[in-house]
Structure formats: structure tokens, C-alpha cells
Amino acid sequence: MLESRIIAAQSDDKYIERMRFEGEMLSDVDIERIEYESVQFIQCQFSKCDFSKTSFYNSVFDNCNFANCIFMDSYWKGSKILTCKGDGSNFSKSHMKETSLADDSLRYADFSSSVLENCTIHDCNFTEAFLSEIRLKKPTLKAVNFTGADFIKTLLKGIDLSDCIIDGITVSDTRNELRRAIVNAGQAIELAARLLGIKIV
């Protein structure tokens, strides 16, 4: 049903609204430039699908798998990504506004050069993700795992990372990214020790 609806949208107005897709499986499908309004994707599996330049308004991905899919230049507003697997996915140059991510696995995902505005991110795994040159505007971060993530040229001024795991994150030699970031005492000690080349025993 989903694939036929996508094909119809591509040949018509590139618009899908107020629909629910559950248990769908798509592989190697080009889903570019389609606009979704109030659409729900429940337990759907996407393999090697291209969502480039797609827009999602008030839409939901719930318990879906879109690992290694492409979402470059996508736009999200008022949407939710819940309990999804998106390891290795490409969200570079995307814009997320007032969107919630919760209980998601986004290991090795690429969010470089994206904008996250008034987004809420809870209990997500961004281990070794590419988060370089991101613009963060008033995010709410809770229990996010950023272990080994690349934050080069992402300014963290005023961003509260105190409830997150930031072990081994990558920043530039100037460490400008970390200036005035909000961290807890343990994180501060770990960061200072690493940046100074000190080993804590």
C-alpha cells in the first residue's frame, strides 16, 4: 500500500496526508521530494531507501527501521521519531524543528551541517555519529549517548550536556566547540584531563 501510494504521489502532487502505514517493507525505493502531513509509519522496515528532500509535518515514525537510508536535505516540523533504528542513516543538511527523538539508535548516523531547532532528544544512542557543523537551537537533551561523536565546528555554547554521555567526543584543536557548554563535574574532569593529556587512575 505504501509503495503504490508513493508512486501515485510522485506522478501527481508529491503529497501524502492523514494516512497510517503499519508493517510495511520497502527496499531500494526512491521516495525523494514527497511531503508528508500527519502520516504515521508504524513498525515499517526501510532498506536502502532515499528520502532526500522529503518533508514531514506532524508525522510519526514509531518502532521503524531505516538504518542506512538517506534523509539528506529533509525537513521535519512537529514530528516524532520513536524507538527507531537508524544506524548509519544520512540526515546531513536536514532541518528539524519542534521534533522529538526518543529511544532511537542512530549510531554512525550523519547529521552534519543540519539545523536542530527546539528539538527534544531523550534516551537516544548517537555513538560515533557525525554531528559536525550542526546548528543547535534550544535543544532538550536527556540521557543521550554521544560516545565518540564528531562535534567539529558545532558550537555547544549554552547547550546542557550534563545528563548525556560525551566520552571521547571529537572537537577541533582550538576546543571552541566546548566553550561555555554546560557539563557536570565528572564530565568537566574527564574533558580537562583528556584535553591536557592526563590519565586519571
The full set of domains in the chain, from first to last, is: 2-196 (2.160.20.80)
In this prediction, the residues of the chain whose per-residue pLDDT falls under 70 are 196, 199-201
With 0-12 / 13-18 / 19 or more C-beta atoms within 10 angstroms meaning exposed / middle / buried, residue 2 is buried
Q: What sign results for the dihedral spanned by CA atoms 99, 104, 107, 109?
A: negative
Strand segments (E) across 44-102 = 45-47, 55-57, 60-62, 75-77, 80-82, 95-97, 100-102
pLDDT in tens, 132-146: 999 999 999 999 999
The pLDDT of residue 65 is 98
Q: Tell me if the pTM is above 0.75.
A: yes
Total residues found in the chain within this entry = 201
The pLDDT of residue 201 is 66
The pLDDT of residue 193 is 79
pLDDT in tens, 159-173: 999 999 999 999 998
Alpha helices in the chain (DSSP H): 2-11, 185-196
